[in-house]
Amino acid sequence: MHGTHVRRSFSSIVVLALTMFGAAGRAQQTPNPGDAARDTLPNEPQIFSSAGQKFRVVATKGLSRPFALAFLPNGDLLVTERAGRLRIVRSGVLDPQPIAGIPAVLDVRLKGLQDIAVHPRFTENQLVYFTYYKPKPGEKDVATAALARGRFDGGHALTEVRDIFVAEAWCATPSASRIAFAPDGKIFMSVGVPIRGRAGTAQPEDSQNPANHVGKVLRLNDDGSAPPDNPFSGRPGYRPEVYALGIRNILGLVIHPQTGELWEHENGPMGGDEINIIKPGRNYGWPIVSYGRAYNGDLVGDSSGPTTDQHSAPGMEEPFMIWVPSIAISGMAFYTGDQFKTWKGNIFVGARRGTQVQRIVLNAKGLPVLRETLLFELKQRIAEVRQGPDGLLYLLTDETAGALLKMEPVPSDPPTAAGSAPRPQLADLLVSR
């Protein structure tokens, strides 16, 4: 249902929208320099209203620039902090002691410690996987994405920690790396390089070069090796780990819970955030085509813009949907639980620049028809969105005084609710098939 071809049919609208919104649509934003340790979240739970659903947000504070979370089988949460700390939340309480064993990371230009996932057979092997930016010896600002794993017995340390894959993608610019376990136990790993840097380091143009890992989705065995059935396996000039190419910077990577398809979303430059359904061997266009433009407003060029002013090209895949202006999309969850019955089947994404969560409603054909903005009143950069095993939604705020946010339903009566009124929106600039 979700794998059919998508067509772009409104290029002139996109160009007009980009012109109107300008710098407000920047996706790759650095934290505000004046927000150091400033806690703006209320301490008490907050109640909000959505279209057809009333919910409460409960904050667990004490985190700093958290990036990703993963649930252990017992319901505890592992949380990564970009500075290189691994934290654990037990029964809603953040353990003040970090979990030891994380290697040294380069926490510069939005890199650092990033995604985390537990092995599907964690109860048997106790393996935890994480991505981080491995510093390059002798360089103060150059690193590459690495996938590591270690064993966790529930205490305060990872043991037997080692890198199982180090990408050929040394960069001095912002970069992100997400991971997701497929139903067959293989690992998908993304490596992004969204803007141009100094000579001798990874560039956006490398996203089209199959001889490296820059701007790619990779597919790995759980020991970090390349599966022999990868789409480019054995082809000269191609890294065997490459699964798809032409990627800008993925900040959400998930497996569709019904179809098993790999879905991702990535930040565009000025405009052009997009959701894609990743297929083996396909090219997703960056930096040749994009619905975004350079940060300086030019259609092409500068350090951040695409190399052409086109939105599509032969042999390059169309996005499932886009955002213009950009909201710096981050985190992603398909809601399948029973706690929020009116939200079942919806997609939830966070936004760093947009300081919100968006609920995306799909119709019976699997096409997006409505977006609703949630939690804008909190003014928090959202880094992560996950559905928990309890059927609730969990968020991380990308703030120096960061927090884990739990969204839980409350009865519809009484009807007086503090916080946001429903904010449904027509699905602006949606891609139609």
Report yes or no on 431 lying in a domain. Answer: no
Q: What pTM, to 2 d.p., does this model score?
A: 0.89
- 51: burial class by Cβ within 10 Å (0-12, 13-18, 19+)? middle
Strands of the sheet with 424-426, listed across from one edge: 329-334, 347-351, 356-362, 368-374, 424-426
433 falls within a domain: no
* Domain membership flag for residue 2: no
Confidence at residue 413, expressed as pLDDT on a 0 to 100 scale: 61
Question: What pLDDT, on a 0 to 100 scale, did the predictor assign at position 92?
Answer: 93
- Give me the pLDDT at residue 9, please: 30
Tell me if 5 is assigned to some domain. no
Residue 44: give its domain's CATH number: 2.120.10.30
Query: What is the C-alpha to C-alpha distance for residues 118 and 101, in angstroms, rounded to an integer?
Result: 16
At 165, the amino acid letter reads: F
What DSSP state is assigned to residue 301?
-
Q: What pLDDT does residue 2 have?
A: 40
CA separation for the pair 290, 54 (Å, rounded): 37
Listed in sequence order, the residues at least 6 apart from 44 whose beta carbon sits closer than 8 Å to its beta carbon are none
Q: Which residues contact 120 (CB under 8 A, 6 or more apart)?
A: 181, 185
Q: What is the pLDDT of residue 36?
A: 52
Q: Are 47 and 411 in contact (CB under 8 A)?
A: no
Hey, CA dihedral for 387, 393, 396, 401, is it positive or negative?
Answer: negative
How many Å is the maximal CA-CA distance in the chain? 66
Which single residue is written with the structure tokens 């996932």?
117
- Residue 12: Cβ within 10 Å count: 7
Give residue for tokens 């009116």. Answer: 342
Q: What is the pLDDT of residue 38?
A: 86
Residues 6+ away with beta carbon under 8 Å from 47: 54, 55, 56, 57, 410, 417, 418, 419
Q: Report DSSP state, residue 251.
A: E
What distance in Å separates the CA atoms of residue 150 and residue 158, rounded to the nearest whole number? 6
Strands (E), 106-212: 113-118, 127-135, 143-152, 158-166, 179-181, 187-191
Q: How many domains does the chain have?
A: 1
How would you class 15 by CB atoms within 10 Å of its CB: exposed for 0-12, middle for 13-18, buried for 19 or more? Answer: middle
- Per-residue confidence of the chain (433 residues) as pLDDT tens digits? 443 333 333 332 333 333 333 444 444 444 443 445 689 999 999 999 998 799 999 999 999 999 999 999 999 999 999 999 999 999 999 999 999 999 999 999 889 999 999 999 999 999 999 999 999 999 999 999 999 999 999 999 999 999 999 999 999 999 999 999 999 999 999 999 999 999 999 999 999 999 999 999 999 999 999 999 999 999 999 999 999 999 999 999 999 999 999 999 999 999 999 999 999 999 999 999 999 999 999 999 999 999 999 999 999 999 999 999 999 999 999 999 999 999 999 999 999 999 999 999 999 999 999 999 999 999 999 999 999 999 999 999 999 999 999 999 998 765 444 444 444 444 443 443 3
Residue 13 belongs to what H/E stretch? helix 11-21
Q: Is residue 4 part of a domain?
A: no
DSSP bridge partners of 259 = none
Residue 1 lies in a domain: no
Does residue 432 sit within a domain? no
Range of the domain at 315: 11-426
pLDDT of residue 362: 96
Q: How much is the pLDDT for 273?
A: 97
